Structure formats: C-alpha cells, structure tokens
Amino acid sequence: MSDAALPEKVSSDGVSPDDLPRLQKALAHAGVASRRACETLIAGGRVTVNGETVYELGSRINPDTDEVRVDGVIVQLDATKRYFVLNKPRGVVSTMSDEQGRPDLQTYVDEIGERLYNVGRLDTDTSGLLILTNDGDLAHQLAHPKFGVQKTYVAKVRGRVTPAVIQRLKDGVELVDGPIRADAAKLLPGGASSSHSLVELTLHSGKNRIVRRMLAEVGHPVVELVRRQFGPLHLGAQRVGTLRELSAAERGALLSAAAGGDSTDITDRTQRADTQITAGRPGDGKGAKGMRGVAARGNPHRR
C-alpha cells in the first residue's frame, strides 16, 4: 500500500490512526459483503485504496478522504448518502414542489424523511427511470452535460419505422439547435404495425425533449416514451410509481460512472464480481405487443 493510502497521511487533520476503521470493516459497513468475504476480496488483490492495490488485512482508511474500489468499482463509504430509482409515471413533473399544483416527486419521497434531489429531469409526459438522492454533488455532476451519461429510451411512435430511418437516427439529424445522432438505435422485435412502431434509442445528450424532437424530425412523432436506462442503471421489472433504493453494486457503478468511467465496462466488471446489478435490460418483454412488457411490467397507462 502506497504512502498516499496510509492513515498517517491524515494525522495533520487531527485524526488518530487508531480511530480510523479497518478496510474490511469499512467495506462490510458499506454493504459490499460480509466482513469475512471482504477479507477474501482484499487478500485476492481486488481492492484498491487511492489507486493502489491493498493486500494487508487490517489496513486502516479514512472514509472521508480515501477512494476505495472493488474490482475497479467505487465503494460509497458514507452510509448517510442514499440513492433511489423512481419509475416515474406520466403526468408527474420532475420537481419536488410544483407551483401549479400538478403531481410532483414529493409524493414518492415523503416516507424517506430527508431531502432528496432528482438527477436531471423527465418530461411530464415521459415515464421511466429517474434517480433521486440526497447526494447533491453527485446529482449536479451526473446532470451536467459534460459527463454525457448515456440514457436509453423505448418510444412508441406513429408510422412504420424502416431500417433506413434507424440508420438516419444513427447517422445524425439536423435540429434547430444543431446536429444530433443516436449512440444506438433499433426497431424492437414485434413492435411494428401499419400504424405504430417501437423504437429503442440510446444517446448521451441532455437537451430538452431531444428524443421526441429527433423522432419527429425523421417523420415518426412519439406517442409514448419511457426511459429504461440511465448510465449503468436499468429499470428492469420495477413497476410504475414505485421507488427503490439502489444496491451496493448499483451505487458503486453509479459513482464510478460519475468519476468518468465507462458505464458499460463498469457494469460488466461488477457483474463479473458476482454482484447482480439488475434483473432487467432495455427491451425486456420480447414478443410483447405495444408498450406492454417492453416499457414496464403490465400496461401502466391502461392502453
């Protein structure tokens, strides 16, 4: 372990090394695994502190200043920080208090008992994955355009979407505020009819109503839109209108994405560490008709 990770470095802040937690205890307290399992992770060279691999059991860390990772994924050592995923229904505005009296996010967080921030926004008429947290710094970080966090949507659109339209979305379209292209786009199996199609679109832009504007530009206005993924987080089978707290693995993947890691790579590495990130993936519900099974379990809007 390098000098940068040794507890002696924090003595200038008035913290005695004996008052600092041992690494395996801090990992267990953060919900990574049992203390015995955390010792196995350390001995196996899977834990780093400030970028240096730590093998020695009993090494002490400062949770306030040290960055700890397991298999490259950041561990949130501050137990007071909480992170939630809301499957936001249509008709709910992405604010904690709406001056016009419309349904807002406060309805879903009252039982938490502390102030939460929403990470970015979803349009009132868009449903799906919205992150809520009391970690204001992370909320601001993830919402900032420079981080370019990928988001995946499933859109029910008017008309029959052709492969040429999908390619155009990937090549890029010109909007009034500049060109934009999808990072990925595809027509979902079983999602096309003479009147409507289901399209999955992934992009990292945070521009206002960008998915709706892109699809309108290629001649297929959105009828219904659901966000299925934000960075490494997936909606899975979470029901509309429900709030759930992130697992330790999901927290780590989210923090690692905010620190500049590749979300896909983070998720893959976390899963290889035998930690299940989620039970779902974009496009769940193969063979389902309309938005049923693709946007959510069941038909949340009863259409």
Question: Which amino acids are annotated catalytic?
Answer: 123
3-state DSSP assignment of residue 68: strand
Rounded to 5°, the CA angle 72-142-169 comes to 100
Structure tokens at 257: 């994405």
125 neighbors 149 (Cβ within 8 angstroms): no
Report the alpha-carbon distance of residue 99 to residue 218 in Å, rounded.
35
Q: Which structure tokens are listed for 150? A: 């990928």
Q: Which long-range contacts (CB under 8 A, 24 or more apart) does 52-56 make?
A: 52/1, 52/2, 52/4, 52/5, 53/1, 54/1, 54/5, 54/23, 55/1, 56/1
**Would you say the C-alpha torsion 254, 259, 260, 261 has a positive or negative sign?**
negative
Cβ proximity of 161 and 215 under 8 Å? no
Name the burial class of residue 123, with classes exposed (0-12), middle (13-18) and buried (19+) by CB atoms within 10 angstroms of its CB: middle
